[in-house]
Amino acid sequence: MDHSVIFAWLKDNPIMGPEDFLRIPGYEQTINFSKFSGRRLEIMLTDYAFDKANETQCGISGCKQKHQRGFIVGTDDGKVTNIGKDCGKTHLGLDFSRARKEFNYRRKAESNRTTITTVIADIAAQQSRIDRIQAFAKHLNACSFSFRRLMPDTYRKVCEMAKRDNPVITRPKALTGRDAELYFEMTKTRPRDYPGGVPVVDEPVDTLSGHRFFRDMIGASVTHRILKPRDELISLTTDEIDNLSGRRLSMLSKSAQEILANLSATEELANYGLAFFSADNLEKLKLLGASSESITAFRKEVPEANLC
């Protein structure tokens, strides 16, 4: 029996129980694999796993061990049977190991092909999201460029806050009287430990929104994590996918799965940016040293920022 015929049949008729074996074209319940038969295991066609109530018998003559997990296999002379996963290792040695390695390789390749084709279809369905994030990235890049140029010192402070992942805006506060006494007790220090005998602490005054926008570069994220891998995927034809090497399939499958995850992550980054460049949040930049004039200039340069 031609193994390609069995592959096609199994694809349309998955094995659900031992009773399905008898429906496989050319299937034999027992096959002689002794060295005198000259017969060798050539290929694993599919695997199966049953519960305890549906244990089945191994098709290797002289074995017939009952088992729950095994493989439908083909021989070099075109015969088909089933063998247990442990029975094959015991009775067929290297032939079994080789066939199982090839089977795992094919299974992984098929899984990767499915992932790639599924993601390609998903990408087409998500095009409106991709278009939207491209528009946000363009707008937010303009905002970021103007912010950096018009308020360079404030920009550096915000980047440092993003690096520390601390959105709290503080200002120095000199402690005097009872506040200073309590501070000395808590820190086990004395007035002589501070210039002028006065301890100075950072006092929280407000919280900045969207500081995490500055932990990444949204333009580069869209280009390198979404658009480039997307374009590579959607350029592939079905025949090209079918003929890709296992290594290439694995790489593309990983890249394909990352595209949609990166899309979600970049949308989150955009939301941080929109929050940061909102009108209310821009006012908070005065607490970091930005002048009213520079904020006004920013709004004129990127007027839509007020609508974020």
When pLDDT is averaged across residues 69-76 and rounded to a whole number, the result is 95
Answer whether residue 307 shows pLDDT above 60. Answer: no
* Strand partners of residue 70: 48, 84
Distances, alpha carbon 280 to alpha carbons 92, 102, 204, 238, 274, in Å: 74, 62, 18, 51, 11
Residues 263-283 pLDDT 10s:
999 999 999 999 999 999 999
Answer whether residue 304 shows pLDDT above 70. Answer: no
Answer whether residue 303 shows pLDDT above 80. Answer: no
3-state SS string for 47-74: EEECCHHHCEECCECCCCCEECEEEEEE
When pLDDT is averaged across residues 94-107 and rounded to a whole number, the result is 91
Distance of alpha carbon 74 from the chain centroid = 37
Distance of alpha carbon 117 from the chain centroid = 16
Residues 138-188 pLDDT 10s:
999 999 999 999 999 999 999 999 999 999 999 999 999 999 999 999 999
Strands (E), 55-182: 56-57, 66-67, 69-75, 80-84, 168-174
Domain edges within the chain: 3-113, 126-167+208-307
Residues in the chain: 308
Please state the pTM of the whole predicted model.
Answer: 0.70
